[in-house]
Structure 1
Amino acid sequence: MRQGIPAGVWALGFVSMLMDISSEMIHALLPVYMVTVLGTSTFAVGVIEGIAEATASITKVFSGALSDWLGRRKLLAALGYGLAAVTKPVFPLAGSLGWLVAARFVDRVGKGIRGAPRDALVADLAPPELRGASFGLRQSLDTVGAFAGPLLAIGLMALTGDQFKAVFWVAVVPAVLSVAVLVVAVREPARPAGAGRVRMPLRRAELARLGPAYWRVVAVATVFTLARFSEAFLVLRAQSVGLPPALVPAVMVVMSLAYALSAYPVGIVSDRMDRTVILLTGLLLLVAADLVLAFAGGVVALGVGVALWGLHMGFTQGLLATLVADTAPAELRGTAFGLFNLVTGLALLFASLLAGALWDLAGPRGTFLAGAGFAALTVLGLMAIRGRPAHEGRQKRNA
């Protein structure tokens, strides 16, 4: 009989949801705030977004490895969420670009600290036969927050007469609630039976145990990340087709709604069929999204492109996390997620820099056509390795 998804996975989903409500209330407005209020260039937006996300990814390597060394995940997850909550008031207090960059940087350090231990904790809590559904559920709840955050931002911008800082202050509340749910409702499971102690997770001998199947997942995800630069460029695309500032967050609402509605069902399906086929479907959705956004001339086409972008996220992000959990030894899951996020984070830095430069040189069309090209390359690469089993090299104790 199939077990239900554990309560701890549900709780972690709600923790992610609350923090995403807070973060997306800010981030849905931040690119426009930087460009229209502070006079920042779109290239600078790309630099800031790329550095912020790369910082989070680099931090994940060490927090993931530390969680393996300690054999404990919750403490580091709580530290990361707590740091993000503490930094939220800096956004409304910031009076210059330097303060915003610092706040974004520290906020992403918090994300980096919590990311790998939290994902490893989901893998530890989830039964093997429900691993895809568990990651899909957490991703869906997380994305409900990404949907609700911009929606709240739209309403608050309308109520306050486009007062950015007032919206940023309200965003502090769900961040604090997120930390409270994590501390109270999540219990760390016992270490898996047969899992050994890891003294030096980043030592070559330990990394060699991750195996070729894991590194193939990392390779595919890296090329894929080059195609899916920061969502800040979706916001800027909305502005470029004439959407007024108060409605710009609707872009993130549409994207996140498509993401949230698809991630959990896709996770359930991935427990029953070939996960590579689902990943290929997600990549094809990204190609379609980039092409539509490249040639969008109005709000309707923009909405279609953004919805396709959200669907591709729902088909791929939880699934990639599931594949990492499938291919990594149980006692090295934190390290595996950390390395995965480091490599893909560096790819995101490059992608965001490239997107910003292309936007300034060739406009939005050049940016999204380049994304479509990278997505098509990933499809070809994934088809080339499709015949190889995802479980290759996985040790029995992972289950």
Structure 2
Amino acid sequence: MYLSMSDRNGGKKDLAPPATGPAGPLQTPFRLSPVILWLGVVSMLTDVSSESVSAILPLYITGFLGLSAIAFGILDGINQGASAVVRIAAGYASDRIGSPKRVALAGYGLSMVARIGLLFASGFWALSAVVAGDRIGKGIRTAPRDALITVSAQPEHLARHFGVHRMLDNIGAAGGPLLAFFILMLMPNGYGTVFVVSLAFAIIGVAVLALLVPNLKTRQPGSAAPDSKTGPGRGFRWRLLREPGLGRLLVAAGLLGLLTVGDGFIYLVLQDRDSFAVQWFPLLYVGTNVVFLILAVPLGRLADRWGKARVFIAGHVALLACYLLAAAPVGGLGPTVACLVLLGAFYAATDGVLAALASQLTPPDKLATGLGAAQTVVALSRMTASVGFGVLWFALGPSVAMVVVGSFLAVGVVASWFILRGGLRQRPAA
């Protein structure tokens, strides 16, 4: 299935709602592609694998291994940003060969191999290497996978299709921490058991991708590969960032990413405030991801109707509210649940919506490259945010550090709105 960019976005301005008359694009009935369904199953299985580990990693590092908050900040930064080193290259390779599945399979396979390393890593440097390997695998697979979603989706329902994928993805993201919770309830120090179960789910996910997802092409057979006239080995072309709207989107996403604290830190702030038992810690991840999966499709549909940029900015407003509520001196179950709802709403309003927005603003022959560029900017900025917040925590304490980041985020939300508003008034790339 081959889609031109004009087919995907109809040349419409994203900040304005699309046409609603009889010829409006949203009159086409929504139909879910089996490709997107199977990709969602793969992501679901893989997220059971990855999130069962992520849910216990803050406690494993700071409690079981006895490392400092700064050490966790560095590891969380690696977790957020190690994938950035390969995202654009993986997207470019996908566009170059026109076969995203092959590149995505390599990424899922590398993450599976990294799960084996968790069974043996016990020190800071060994854990850093394993986390980096897992995240590099994620960086390799994400842009090609999102390119497969884009070429399989109905253009007028693009954000909604991404929402369906993210919903399935987050069933796994909620199931992984829940699985870790039950394991730790039965075995208080059963971190090794969590790692073994994580590896099993990773293997199943790779098998489903290899056997059940078709090898769709993203360019016509025999057509020139991206930038082929520049000769082999020229790689990523920076002029891609000058596509109307895409450069501004990357600036806004990078600015907001610098002010996006990793989930683990938010949960540690809540645990520090309320001092609840550590075995309940994985349930914080469950709560966030349940909200994410519930809201992913409705907010994707809203983004298609109301405007992707508007929903993207609104998601960061929810994140700001989460920061301020986490830093508030009022504890208990109610404020904690409200934080999880706000954090889940943030992810539902930004994750798939950013991918849909980036794909709308990228030429079709460079689709995975553009998606990889957006993901790279977010990954690098969030890596910086995690390391910086670890230092702020050490210097100011958790609550004050959260207030400081929240104050900067309030300014960043306003600035990003004007950045996106100026860029998306232009006609998207065609």
- The aligned runs of 1:134-173 (5 Å cut-off) are 134-173=161-200
Write the distance in 2 (CA, Å) between the matches of 1:395 and 1:165.
49
Structure 1: where are the runs of 5+ without partners?
Answer: none
Residue type of the alignment partner of 1:197: A
Bigger mean CA offset, 161-170 vs 327-336: 161-170
Bigger mean CA offset, 236-245 vs 24-33: 236-245
Write the distance in 2 (CA, Å) between the matches of 1:343 and 1:270.
22
Write the distance in 1 (CA, Å) between the matches of 2:321 and 2:261.
15
Q: Is residue 119 of structure 1 aligned with residue 146 of structure 2?
A: yes
- Partner in structure 2 of residue 222 of structure 1: 254
Secondary structure (helix, strand or coil) at the match of 1:271 reads: helix
- How far the C-alpha of 1:297 sits from its partner, in A, is 4.1
- How far the C-alpha of 1:96 sits from its partner, in A, is 2.1
- Partner in structure 1 of residue 367 of structure 2: 333
2:252 and 2:420 in contact (8 A); partners too: no
**Cα 1:41/1:118, change in 2 over 3 Å:** same
Residue type of the alignment partner of 1:260: L
Given candidates 286, 289, 308, the residue that maps to 1:253 is 286
- Partner in structure 2 of residue 2 of structure 1: 29
Write the distance in 2 (CA, Å) between the matches of 1:106 and 1:379.
32
- The aligned runs of 1:295-310 (5 Å cut-off) are 295-300=328-333, 301-310=335-344
Given candidates 30, 37, 44, the residue that maps to 2:57 is 30
Secondary structure (helix, strand or coil) at the match of 1:171 reads: helix
Write the distance in 1 (CA, Å) between the matches of 2:106 and 2:322.
36
2:157 and 2:301 in contact (8 A); partners too: yes
Bigger mean CA offset, 382-391 vs 21-30: 382-391
Write the distance in 1 (CA, Å) between the matches of 2:36 and 2:425.
23
Write the distance in 1 (CA, Å) between the matches of 2:113 and 2:290.
28
Bigger mean CA offset, 139-148 vs 294-303: 294-303
2:101 and 2:216 in contact (8 A); partners too: no
2:162 and 2:352 in contact (8 A); partners too: yes
Write the distance in 1 (CA, Å) between the matches of 2:125 and 2:235.
36
Residue type of the alignment partner of 1:234: I
Write the distance in 1 (CA, Å) between the matches of 2:336 and 2:396.
18
**Cα 1:185/1:376, change in 2 over 3 Å:** same
Normalising by the residue count of structure 1, what TM-score does the alignment of the two structures yield? 0.93
Residue type of the alignment partner of 2:164: L
- The aligned runs of 1:1-399 (5 Å cut-off) are 1-191=28-218, 197-198=225-226, 199=228, 200-205=234-239, 207=240, 211-240=243-272, 241-300=274-333, 301-385=335-419, 387-388=421-422, 390=424, 392-396=426-430
- How far the C-alpha of 1:304 sits from its partner, in A, is 1.5
Bigger mean CA offset, 339-348 vs 25-34: 339-348
- How far the C-alpha of 1:192 sits from its partner, in A, is 5.0
Write the distance in 2 (CA, Å) between the matches of 1:131 and 1:257.
22
Residue type of the alignment partner of 2:194: V
Secondary structure (helix, strand or coil) at the match of 1:272 reads: helix
Write the distance in 2 (CA, Å) between the matches of 1:337 and 1:193.
20
* Alpha-carbon RMSD: 2.0
Write the distance in 1 (CA, Å) between the matches of 2:427 and 2:224.
17
Q: Deviations over 1:283-319 (max 9, x none)?
A: 2111111100111542322222122111111111111
Write the distance in 1 (CA, Å) between the matches of 2:77 and 2:293.
24
**Cα 1:164/1:382, change in 2 over 3 Å:** same
Write the distance in 2 (CA, Å) between the matches of 1:271 and 1:193.
28
Write the distance in 2 (CA, Å) between the matches of 1:145 and 1:211.
35
Secondary structure (helix, strand or coil) at the match of 1:212 reads: coil
How many residue pairs match? The answer is 394
Structure 2: where are the runs of 5+ without partners?
Answer: 1-27, 229-233
Instruction: Kindly report structure 1 stretches of 4+ aligned residues shifted beyond 6 Å.
Output: none
Write the distance in 1 (CA, Å) between the matches of 2:253 and 2:37.
26
Write the distance in 1 (CA, Å) between the matches of 2:215 and 2:405.
40
- How far the C-alpha of 1:147 sits from its partner, in A, is 0.7
Write the distance in 2 (CA, Å) between the matches of 1:220 and 1:94.
37
- How far the C-alpha of 1:202 sits from its partner, in A, is 1.0
Q: Deviations over 1:105-140 (max 9, x none)?
A: 111111111111111221122121121111111112
Write the distance in 2 (CA, Å) between the matches of 1:50 and 1:146.
19
